[in-house]
Every structure is written in structure tokens, then in C-alpha cells.
Chains A and B, each alone.
Chain A
């Protein structure tokens, strides 16, 4: 059977996801709802950003950020499986090329990242915010989720302990959430912050996903090759790391 290793890994992860689906759904629903209430209805009520009302600006940003959190969140799961339950050894012992481990986990990260997308799409309907869910949005979203699942995979395999993982989250993921244009346009930031934001993949995926979702949003098509380039580079890094990984 083609890609039996990647399929097996995906099956394992999704069987485990089913066991904790309610918890995952709640985690994906609560945090964006709070941001929506605090920023959308609190701080940003009646405000206009980039020619649209703030809620229309915020919802695509929240969708991108929350789906990033879930896709990148596979890092914690791989970490627990590697350092605590040691089930990751099963992947290393199996007769499969190691890039199939990357494929299976990335595929799972994408699946997990789709959960908050569905929830926030529901919020947009409830809030009466018209978003455009088209083919370009799907393409941008898949690229975005694959990039952050790969980042999660790389982080999980690069750290030496569970606490190192928390450090990465504190110094990379949290700043990325606040500086990549989720809540306000990067262009409004001081020059130094704009330079830092330019290093974060979330800045590019937020801009692209927001443009594909916002009615009459002008899509910068050059963002597609940038994200594809990031995806390829991250996949190559992941391949190198997984080839060298030891228990």
C-alpha cells in the first residue's frame, strides 16, 4: 500500500484526536471567542481598518492565528509521545522512510488546524460578517497549516526536553501571535517591529488569508510563492532533522 507509514501515523493521531475531540473543540472555540469579544466588540467597536469594519478585519486574523495554534500544537503531542510515553519509537522502528513520519504528522496538523477554521466560520455567520470562502482561501489555508504543522514537527524534534518546548512557545509563537497582523495591520507598527514581523511566516499567511477571505480584498499573488518557498525549506529542514533523530 502506498505511503502506509504516513497513513498509519495519521490514523494513530486521528484515533487519539477522537478521544479528546470535545477538549480540542472547546479549546478551539473559547480563545477566539474571548479575543472576539475583547477586541472586536470591546476595543474595536465601530472602528474601521484598511477600509473595512474592524470585525471583518479581525475575524480572518483570528482564524489564521487559531488554526496556526492547532497545527503547531502537534509539537506538544509529538513531544509527549517522544519523551513521556515513548510511542514515537514505534515510528523509528517501523520499516518506513522517515520522510513519511513528516508527511503523516503534517497531514494530522492540517486536520487539527481545520477545527478552529470551522468554528470561526460559524462565528462569522453568527456575527453577520460576510467572508468569502473560495478556492484561493482553501489553497492559502492549506499552505498556512502545512507550514505551521512542519514548524511544530521541527520544534518537537529539535528540543531536548519538554521544558525546551515551552521556551520555544514563549519566544516564538506568542510574539508571532501579537506581531503578525492578527489584531492590527503590521503597517501601523514602528519600523523595528515591522522588520521582526517580516521574519514571521504568520505575517505572510495572515495577509494572504485575510485578502482571500475579505470581500473585495486585493490579493497579493506574490505571497503564494513566498509561502510555497517556506514550505519547501521547512520540509527540507524537517527531513534533515528526522534523518538524524535518535531516541
Chain B
């Protein structure tokens, strides 16, 4: 089996396959029959506004909630919360820093390791190596509650890596971080993908994050997938260049496949105009008529 479709043309073995996945909460449809695949080693982003269904999808993929319909397969094997061998392959970084604040950084890792069946010298060595990888060795005996927001985030990621998962889920990994910490976090995530050969599945509502990090993006809105592909391909589909036309109180956009055409149009316009390259925000705007980070 390969993930040719999933990987935008690159043949890769498939880590995750999702078919017809749905979940309701009361009368609200949170996820509505979505299908997608994630290739091995891929850096994959699930982009959408808050409330689109991203966290519900991750929760189903990790066994925290049950789907109403559809199926999830890891390496071709069907998954549910009782498939303990599959759970060993998964690491999860939730949206909130769910650490035991009164326990030290090392103790938080110790408990996680024990929950995953690690113990003795192997566990001690993994704790040291994860703290070092996350640049937290000097904070090993600091209570987690006393670490900065960025350090807590790194500790949660280090914890998720402790049992050496093949697939790491990150739900809004940089939410609440300042711009500088966010960029450092992106570098850290790329390192995880590169050095640990870990498939990264992240959700985000930050356009820049998806563009900077992901090899492939799935855009979700109102519980449904509305577009999929590499950031480049998605942007190409909208047109390479966009004119922001400032008319009265609103900004109107016009899209062009080449710069020359955009410049020709610009010369015809009387109002104030800006020319720029398209972003995933424009893709979302074209598809839904609204902005993602609004």
C-alpha cells in the first residue's frame, strides 16, 4: 500500500488511513464523513478555524473519543481504543499543557514512561535523552508548574516522544506562545520529524504555521474537508498572485496565475491596490468566503 495520493505524488507507505469518519455531539455534527491518508514520515497539517472539527478528529484518531461512523487504520490495521499495540505507536501533544504541576519535569516523564511499560535503566536513559533533546536538562528537578509556557510545551512534547512513537499528534502546538517561541517551536518540530523519523500530524488555525511546517495540508471547515495538497499546490490552485483592492471600507481580492497578468490588471485600477503572493488564507477565503483566523 502506498500513500501516493496522500503525499502529493510521492510514493510512501501509509501510516494512517481514515475513511468516512464522523462524530456528533448532540445535534451538532463535529466531524462529517472525512477521508484522508497520511504517509510515513510526513509532516502533515490539519488547518481550519476554531470549531472546524480538528480536535475532535485527533481525539478519534488517538482513541480518546469514539467515532459514530467510519474507520481508522494504522499501517493497515483497524484502530480502536482497545488496540494497545497500536497505541504504542502514537504520541499525543494535546492543546493544553496537561502536566502534573506539582511533580518535577523528570517525574512527569517518569510517570509517562511507566504508563507505557518502560522501567529501570532504559527508562532513566530515555528521560535523560528526552530532557536533553528538549533542552530541559537543567530543569529536570523543577516542578512543571514553575516552568515557562514555552518550556511546559516542550516538556509535553518531550513526554510524548519518550516512548519513541512513530506518529506524533500535536493539537495546536504553538497556541499561546509568543512569535519568537513559536518560531523556535517550529524548528524543534522539524528536528523531531528529521532526526526521529517521526510522522507529524498537527492541527493549527495559524496559516503561517501550516505554510512553514507542513509538506501537506488538509483544510477543514464546518466538519468537512474542503481542500488537500501541498501548500504550494493549494496556493497554485488559487493563483500565484493576488491583488488586494482597497475599495471604500472593504478589501476585495482578485487572483492571477502569473505576475504579468496581475500587473496589467493593477494598471487598470484607480483605487489603492497591493500585489502579493497568495497564502493559504486566500485559498480558504476562496473556498469559504471567510477568513480562517477571523
Contact = CB atoms under 8 A, between A and B. Distances in A.
Contact of A86 (B85, B98, B102, B111): B98
A93 B90 contact: yes
A29 B117 CA distance: 37
A86 B96 contact: yes
Interface string B99-115: 11111000100111011
B81 interface: yes
Interface string B152-195: 00000000000000000000000000000000000000000000
Given A15-B107, A85-B100, A89-B98, A5 B119 contact: no
Contacts of A33: none
Interface string B253-267: 000000000000000
Please classify how large the interface on chain B is, using the bins under 10, 10 to 19, 20 to 34, 35 or more: 20 to 34
Interface residues of A, number: 26
Interface string A128-151: 000000000000000000000000
Which of A8, A9, A87, A96 has the most B CB atoms < 10 Å from its CB?
Answer: A8
Interface string B109-127: 0111011110100000000
Contacts, number: 76
B227 interface: no
A91 interface: yes
A247 B171 CA distance: 15
A90 B117 CA distance: 13
Interface in A16-38: 16, 19-20
Interface in A212-247: 246-247
B84 interface: yes
B220 to A, nearest CB: 20
Contact of A95 (B65, B96, B100, B117): B117
A94 B65 contact: no
A45 interface: no
Q: Chain A at the B interface: mostly helix, strand, loop or mixed? A: helix
A89 B97 CA distance: 11
A246 B102 contact: no
A8 B59 contact: no
A94 B100 contact: no
B60 to A, nearest CB: 10
Interface of B: 59, 62-66, 81-82, 84-85, 87-88, 90, 92, 94, 96, 98-103, 107, 110-112, 114-117, 119
22 contacts: A4-B115, A4-B119, A5-B115, A8-B115, A11-B110, A11-B111, A12-B100, A15-B107, A15-B111, A16-B102, A19-B103, A85-B98, A85-B100, A92-B81, A94-B112, A95-B116, A96-B84, A96-B115, A97-B84, A246-B65, A246-B66, A247-B64
